Every structure is written in structure tokens, then in C-alpha cells.
Chains A and B, each alone.
Chain A
């Protein structure tokens, strides 16, 4: 494996060595959970035992690494931790090159404001698209390697020996000829004053000691005892609490509200309009704010979308299945029309995938403190930089006078890539200058104001010749573009719509078809779309992998053999497919009443496959017994966390398959909580056996790719069990009884 050699820019040196933010605090005030807090409390401001994180005087070797005299290491992480384990994985990357003692590593978030001051030294804060590790591995490893170099150089200078005679391991530097040793904590301060090397060599992957190890997560302890402070838990001195309701009809506005009806209710401090679309009650406690908001008379100007329904959206999408208007091509080779005309057998099917909500366990929230000169926001966000800009815009202040302090997310799944709740919190806080205000959404608001997984339909047409070969495939997707949701005037193709069906890149199609046409008729209902774990691969993998299964059966072929014939030019895809087929003993009967289904996919630069085993009883009740999953992410930084992500992605994807649908009536989402937007529970969880098979040489995603294959593998297994091909989702309400 070739080693990566990286130039270290002088500009970066001068900025990092300027010590602008040496040991800066996160500025977090943590609410007290001390033993005696229960004795004396009456109202929130009395119980709050605030403490300001002390500003440590710790030498910052460079922007990524700070080292105490006791060798404890603080590694800075720019991406957001939302459960996916990126905090631990990224720290492993830095620590691998740093050669520090892993048992003494902790992490901290730099702020997006500091990132601007320091000329983007930490790179992207955006956390989405399974980019955490694959998008930053190079520069974070470089950060660790540069710091190691400087530490060794400092030791060598102290000893007056050439640094080439020194080496480092587990935070100990050894002068090899003399056997002298020192440790990182003793030389960190001197190292911080050195120039970084002009070039740095990264380790050959075969020499990795920490990358590839299933080390435990760094963020578990406080998640076991209630000490972990999420955004919803934050308490600041003098803080008030806000509960909000925005117009439930998309595009609607706030017309009026009658604050006099709630002003005298307990704890109510103020009722405020929020950007013409929402109203918030600000009170001493959140429960008081919510109680008052529930009784507040509100009149909405519902606007032009009030007649939009799921049926009207379906009509819009149906038109797109055959239209020539606003149709974009995502992948094309050969002449599919001629191929289909000349086919012995033509198979056609139309699928539909509904709107989904993210339903993070922690509802949207943000805490803001606004004054004329400064705006600070504490929030869970998947994009600190975007949150900072949203805060500055809402505050009416330049970004230099604002900052965002990130907290761990109680779930993200893409929802917290949008910063609407930050805008709202700042808009509310601006109406109470000098008073921190925590905005927390109700679950009902979270269901009504999502950034929904877009709705699409897909018409698939395949041609088969007399020998059973697939001669052509026409894919016509009709439905919503996420990117067009961000920019309503967008007039060009949204290539994200074609995930898993593209001719090349991170979302390349897994098969070679002699004639292929993949199109998207962009049809954009007025429901705000967003990135939802896996994004468009959720439905595209269902469409492709279900229909491949349909074609296999239509041509009388085994679904595995049929796929393999089309995958000769896709060896990595084939390897993961073969791995699950082999482990499942594909071709040999499963247990009595148990049937298997396959799916394979390439998405977010990783190769994934699954074999599901299901049974359907005489009542039509589905049981998913086991899913064998394989993933080739190139490099596997922490295999046990990859396994956790595979299992977790299956719960997210299968919850949508089984239950998830947001329906539209009167221009608003009809579902309001987990009773009508259910999520899988432990009793429905299949066994999951994960094959992590990194083939090296590339960096693929982890959090999202495997979500692609769970649903289609289950659907294909249901077909094997019942002969029923399900093309409308979710499955709830579908009669699965055989025959």
C-alpha cells in the first residue's frame, strides 16, 4: 500500500501557531445533577447549579491535539456525534498517527466560530452523507502525524540528538541509541512552539495498530447514568423556556394570536410571533410554555397548499411516470426502446415509496442568548457552520459576533442538517434581549414540521430474450427532488435522485445492462423534503433489487445466479453478494417455513449486501428471523461500531418498510406521534450477522450504506415465502397471506 505524503502549508502553521484558541472552553454551562439538588429546589432558576467549564491551560500542539503534562490527550473533533460513533472513529485516526496512549484520550468539539477565526483549520463541520470518516480521514491523520513529529522533535532538541534516532509509541518518546525516554506531557509545551514539518508521511495501512481495532466508544459513560447533557437538557442561568407551533399547512403563515388568553397563566412571560410563520410561548418552565401554547387561540393564513392531499400528490407523480416534461437522464447506454421492442418477454412494475419523518428521539431544540453585540447558540446540529450562519442571519449580526456550541445529538439521521430550529430559537431570543431562551419542540411539532424523506414512484420495464437474458431496463422515477426543495427555482437535474443507479462514482449501479435508461421526472409537491438516513438509496434499492428479483423469477432463474450474470464488471459488489449468499447457505433449504431474499448495492462509496430470512404464517404475520449483512467500506476503522451501525440502519430502514408513512391532508402531515408513526421494537428485531470485509484502497461510508439492502432483501424473502410482490409501502395493512 502506498503511503500518503502530505504537504503542510505554511499558512496553516501561522494560524495554528498563533494560539488563537489555546485551550478555549466550549462555553458550556451544565445544569447540576448533584445529590443535594433535590432538597431545596422550587423553580428552575433555584436548582440550577451552574458551573462554567474551566479554561484549561493545555499546550495545543496543533489544532487537533492538546496534551496535558500527565499525557492525557484531547483530540478535537469537528464532525457531530449523533450515535454513529464518529467521535471515536475520528479520534482513532488522529491517535493512530499521534502514537499516543489511547487510554488517555478524550475529545472536544471546536466551535464553528473558532473555525472561521482560524481560517477553516478543522475543515468541514457538516455531518451527513456518511462523510465523517471518509471525508476527513486524510487531514485528521495528518493532524496526528504532524503533532507526533513536533513532539519527537521537541524531545530530540532537548536531548541534543537527531530526531531520526527517536521514535514514539504510547505517548513515550525513546532515543533508541541511548535508551533515554521522555513522554508527551513533558515536551508538549516545547513542541507547541516548533514549526510543523513541511512534509509528513502517513503510515502504511499495514502498520496501523489502532485503526481497525474494535475499541470501545469514548462517549458511553455519561450515557449510562443521565449525566450526558443533550440540547433538550441544557439549563443556563436565568434561562426561560419556549414552546412553538408553526403553521401546520406547508407554506402557510401566522395570521394572528390572542396572547391575552394565556398571559396570566402560570409562568408565562411572553408570547411572540416567530418570523411570520410560527408563534411561541416563553415561560419559566417548558411545561408551562407548552400548557399555555395548547390553549392559545391561533389563526393561520393557510395559503395555497390547503387542498394538497396524498391523493393529489399521487396524481402528480403518476403523470410523471409517462410524461416527457421535466425529465432528466441519470444513466444511459445502448438503446432501451429497441431492446424492449425486440424482447421475448417484457416485465413491467410500478413501485411507490412514501414520505418518512426522521423522528429523532430528542425533538428539535436550540438555546439562544441574544444581545445587540453578540449571539450565542447551544444546540445539537449536524452542521455547526450552517447553524452559525443561520444564527447570524436570524440575529442580524455578523458571524464574527456569533458562535455555536454543539452538544451531542439525541439522534440526527439527516434532520439536524437543516437549521430551522436554530433560526427560530434566535428569533425568539432576539425578542428577549439578554435572556437565554431554550426552544424545545413537542413531538407533535416534530412530526408536523419535518424535512421529510421525499416521495417517489418508479416504473420499471425490463426485456428478456428467449434465452432468459436481460436485454434492456428502463427505470422511470417520478417524484420529489431534495435539492429542489432547498431551491425551488432549481431547473436542472438532481443527481442525488439517482443514487445507486449512476454510471460511476460513490453511488454506482451494481450491474451492467446491455441497454439501460434511468430517468427522473421531477415532480415537487409542497412538502419540504430533506436528507433522511440513506437518502434516495432507500427507495432506489427497493426498486432495483425488487425488480431484479422480479426479472429473475420471470425468466425462471435463481435470483443469485441471475444477478451474478450481470455483475462481472462489478467485482466488489459481487464479493459482498457472494459473502452473504455463502453464509446463508443460499441454494440449500432454510428451516421449515423460512424463506430467503437477497439484495446488493453500492452507495456512499461502500459495497453492501444482505440476505434476509423471513416467515409468514397463515394469518399473514411476518417474522424477520435473521439478516446476514456484508459490507466492504474499504477500510474498517472500528469493526464493532460498524456492526452497530449495520444493525441500527436496519432498524431505521425496516421501521420505514413496516410502518413508516407520512400522509398529507389539507396541506399538512396527518401523523402526530409514535401511535400513528410507529417504530420497530425489540420484539421485531431480527438477528443480524455482520460480515465486515474491508478490501482496502478506498474509504467508504458506514452510517448509511447498509440501510439500502435490508428492506429489499426482506421484500424478496416475502415474495419467496408468499408469492406476493409488494410494491406499495409501508407493509402495514398489506395482506401477506399466501395465495
Chain B
């Protein structure tokens, strides 16, 4: 049994210790917002936060985790689509097919956790998710808009 902390809750899962966090989330916990696409950490569709940092969950064996590692998935980014990134994504109609967007949103949110007002260069080097629909320009605008929304929320 492996003890984990997922979206603020303690859970126990009974899986082979080599099972990637991605598949624990999807198949043991029913949190299917975190997507499988490449399985080798290249596309970012499986991005979650571990202690606030963006991590590609397909490369994280569940054995490497314990309850000191707080895993946050897209389902818990907000309870009502109110995270500034979610608001910005809605305002700009960012998603097309949407499959990569949970990962894209989690990458963007993690960037804003450490950098409240990222430059385009910061976005280029931190949001390296693949989107085959090609939403990149709206993703970029969305991150800048999320900064504005967050500032409005604080003021």
C-alpha cells in the first residue's frame, strides 16, 4: 500500500510500486483530467503539481511519492473554474480539442506560482507542452490575461 496526498486528501493505493503517478490518478483514483498522450515526459498532457511545481506525472513512479508530496491535479485547481488561468482560457476560448489543455493549464498555473508576471521568453521556456491543434498564441495571450485577472483579484 502506498500512501499519497492527492488534492489535499490522504489516500492509499495498492499498485505495483513502479506504476506511474499518471496511471494511479487515472485508474485508481478516477481523476481522468490528467491525460495520457506520449508516456515519455515529452508532451506535457499529464502535467500535475507536486508541492506547487509542474511535474509530468507519466514519469513519476508512485514509489517515489509519500504524503509529504502534495499532488494537485486539474480537478482541484479550483472548484469552479475560477483560477485566473481558467478564467483567461474561458475568456479567450483557448481550447480546441481540449485534450492537452489540462496539462497546458497546469503548466501555466505552475509558472504563475513562481513568476507572477512572466515575459514571453519565460513562457517559451516554461510552457513546453505539445498541442497538435495549435492553440499556442491563445495560450500565450491567456497567460498574460491570467496575470491581469490575478492582479485585479488582489487589488
A651 to B134, CA, bound (A): 5
Are B97 and A221 in contact (CB-based, < 8 A)?
A: no
Q: Using known A-B contacts A47-B28, A226-B73, determine if residue A42 contacts B13 with beta carbons closer than 8 Å.
A: yes
CB contacts under 8 Å to A, within B55-70, are none
CB distance from B112 to the nearest CB of A (A): 15
CB distance from A43 to the nearest CB of B (A): 7
Give the number of residue pairs across the A-B interface with Cβ within 8 Å: 218
Are B98 and A33 in contact (CB-based, < 8 A)?
A: no
Are B34 and A226 in contact (CB-based, < 8 A)?
A: yes
B124, closest chain A residue (CB): A683
Chain A: number of interface residues, binned into ranges: 35 or more
A682 to B99, CA, bound (A): 17
Kindly list chain B residues whose C-beta atoms are within 8 Å of the C-beta of A399.
Answer: none
CB distance from B7 to the nearest CB of A (A): 6
Are B93 and A285 in contact (CB-based, < 8 A)?
A: no
| Residue A594 CB within 8 A of the other chain | no
Q: Using known A-B contacts A361-B35, A443-B37, determine if residue A223 contacts B95 with beta carbons closer than 8 Å.
A: yes
A655 to B102, CA, bound (A): 22
A182 to B93, CA, bound (A): 34
Are A44 and B27 in contact (CB-based, < 8 A)?
A: yes
Are B11 and A38 in contact (CB-based, < 8 A)?
A: yes
| Residue A130 CB within 8 A of the other chain | no
| Residue A12 CB within 8 A of the other chain | no
Q: Using known A-B contacts A38-B9, A224-B89, A224-B90, determine if residue A648 contacts B96 with beta carbons closer than 8 Å.
A: yes
CB contacts under 8 Å to B, within A606-661, are 640-641, 644, 647-652, 655
Are B90 and A651 in contact (CB-based, < 8 A)?
A: no
Are A681 and B90 in contact (CB-based, < 8 A)?
A: no
Are B93 and A647 in contact (CB-based, < 8 A)?
A: no
CB distance from A30 to the nearest CB of B (A): 10
Total interface residues on B, CB under 8 Å, equals 66
Kindly list chain B residues whose C-beta atoms are within 8 Å of the C-beta of A651.
Answer: 131-134, 136
CB distance from B82 to the nearest CB of A (A): 10
CB distance from A37 to the nearest CB of B (A): 5
Are B40 and A220 in contact (CB-based, < 8 A)?
A: no
Are B30 and A674 in contact (CB-based, < 8 A)?
A: no
Q: Using known A-B contacts A83-B133, A408-B98, A682-B140, determine if residue A233 contacts B32 with beta carbons closer than 8 Å.
A: yes
Q: Which residues of B line the A interface, CB within 8 A? A: 6-7, 9, 11-16, 19-20, 23, 26-40, 42-43, 45, 73-75, 77-78, 81, 86, 89-90, 93, 95-102, 105, 123-125, 127-140
Q: Which residues of A line the B interface, CB within 8 A? A: 31-33, 37-39, 41-44, 47-49, 82-85, 216-217, 219-221, 223-230, 232-233, 235, 241, 266, 285-287, 291, 358-363, 408-413, 440, 442-443, 640-641, 644, 647-652, 655, 673-675, 679-683, 685, 687-688
**16 further contact pairs, Cβ within 8 A, besides A440-B36, A443-B39, A673-B38:** A33-B33, A38-B30, A83-B97, A83-B98, A223-B95, A226-B33, A227-B33, A233-B32, A233-B35, A285-B23, A361-B130, A443-B38, A673-B40, A682-B123, A682-B139, A688-B137
